[in-house]
Copies of this chain bind each other. A is one copy, B any other.
Amino acid sequence: MGKVNFDVGVSLDGFLAGPNQRLEEPLGDSGEKVHEWMFRTASFGREHGQGGADGATDRDDEIVRERTENVGAYIMGRNMFGGGPGGWDESWKGWWGDNPPYHTPVFVLTHHPREPVPMEGGTTFHFVTDGAESALEQARAAAGDKDVQIGGGADVIQQYLRAGEVDEFQLHIAPVLLGGGARLLDGLGNDEIKLEVVRAEESPLVTHVKYRVL
């Protein structure tokens, strides 16, 4: 069986996204700065259908490639699929474009039942209305020997951390202060979760640190 992990960029003050997240600015004010190191890589360009031919091919690029190479299914919250005002009728297929960067089944936690939505490139969005545990069971079954990656948001990641379901995670810590927004590691109390550093890697634009949950 694969592992359950998450792999996200955070600001130095711990935010996944800045304040004032909205449809036109899903990462919130200045939130895109957290991911600048990633946007410039060749792998990110390829994943997001922008070719990536002129992208960086350094260690950051390898790390972008690594983060998805063993993932067999994703779990995400409704907002990460593409919530937002008015965004939940049957014609709306999320904000990841026609060919989302997942290329596997994606299990979306929601209260609104909906038929699965197959997309180009192997991504199918499945909508799970009976809770996080059920989503994880379904994702594990779909992933087989591969890993399940929890995409976000912060609340979804916290839910699985608290439940003791996360085996490993990687943070890409950007030298940026957002001052507000969605804090990744919040309300995760004292002594409940024991961690160990697997590795830390330096880059001029970000620090990559991987943790194992004991």
**A interface vs B, CB < 8 Å?**
12-14, 18-19, 29-30, 173, 175-180, 185-193, 195-197, 199-207, 209, 211
In chain B, what residue has the closest Cβ to A18?
Answer: B190
Q: How many copies of the shown chain assemble into the complex?
A: 2
24 contacts between A and B (CB under 8 A): A12-B195, A13-B14, A13-B185, A14-B185, A18-B190, A175-B197, A176-B195, A177-B189, A177-B190, A177-B192, A177-B195, A178-B190, A179-B188, A179-B190, A180-B190, A196-B204, A197-B202, A197-B203, A197-B205, A199-B202, A200-B200, A200-B201, A200-B202, A201-B202
Chain B residues whose C-beta falls within 8 Å of the C-beta of A197 in the assembled complex = 175, 202-207
Chain B residues whose C-beta falls within 8 Å of the C-beta of A204 in the assembled complex = 196-197
Task: Select A196's contact among B173, B175, B187, B195, beta carbons within 8 Å.
Answer: B175
Complex alpha-carbon distance, A192 and B30, angstroms: 11
Q: Which of A14, A175, A203 has the most CB of B within 10 A?
A: A175
Nearest Cβ on chain B to A167's Cβ, whole angstroms = 15
In chain B, what residue has the closest Cβ to A179?
Answer: B189
Complex alpha-carbon distance, A204 and B193, angstroms: 17
Nearest Cβ on chain B to A73's Cβ, whole angstroms = 26
Task: Select A207's contact among B179, B189, B191, B209, beta carbons within 8 Å.
Answer: B209
Nearest Cβ on chain B to A208's Cβ, whole angstroms = 8
Given contacts A177-B195, A178-B190, 14 further A-B contacts (CB under 8 A): A12-B211, A13-B14, A13-B188, A19-B190, A175-B195, A175-B196, A177-B192, A196-B204, A197-B202, A197-B205, A197-B207, A200-B200, A200-B201, A207-B209
